[in-house]
């Protein structure tokens, strides 16, 4: 399995009292957008989810995704129009697991709402 995550870059990551905030840039010139879709790049939902999982796993030592409990894609993300987004992730420790809830947004536009469990 490939771990190529060059379709996006973490511009900044800040720890907050409840989790993390991260500024992400999605790269419309990346190979994955050539097939999704030529001339009109759309970020695949799995890539938005992967960026969230990466952030939690990178910033909460030893955390690994166990389950995506809820995931709702609320808008289409086109990296040519909006390359930079904000991921706001709130994390709670419950019974030895991390419960994460997240949105990826730009200004008033929310692209994904997500809830996951990490062990």
Do the Cβ atoms of 87 and 107 come closer than 8 Å?
Answer: no
Do 28 and 41 meet the contact criterion of CB atoms below 8 Å apart?
Answer: yes
The C-alpha torsion from 6 through 28 and 83 to 27, rounded to 10°, is: 20
**8-118 sits in which CATH class?**
alpha beta
Q: How far apart are CA 86 and CA 51, in angstroms?
A: 11
Domain boundaries, the chain: 8-118
pLDDT in tens, 10-68: 999 999 999 999 999 999 999 999 999 888 999 999 999 999 999 999 999 889 999 99
pTM, entire model: 0.94
pLDDT at 3: 62
């Amino acid at each position: 399995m490939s771990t190529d995550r060059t379709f996006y870059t973490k511009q900044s990551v800040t720890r907050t009292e409840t989790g993390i905030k991260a500024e992400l840039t999605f790269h419309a010139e990346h190979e994955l957008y050539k097939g999704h879709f030529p001339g009109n790049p759309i970020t695949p939902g799995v890539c938005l989810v992967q960026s969230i999982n990466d952030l939690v796993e990178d910033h909460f030592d030893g955390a690994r995704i166990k389950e995506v409990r809820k995931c709702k894609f609320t808008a289409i993300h086109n990296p040519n129009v909006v390359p930079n987004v904000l991921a706001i992730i709130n994390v709670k420790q419950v019974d030895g697991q991390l419960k994460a809830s997240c949105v990826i947004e730009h200004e008033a536009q929310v692209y994904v709402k997500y809830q996951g469990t990490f062990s």
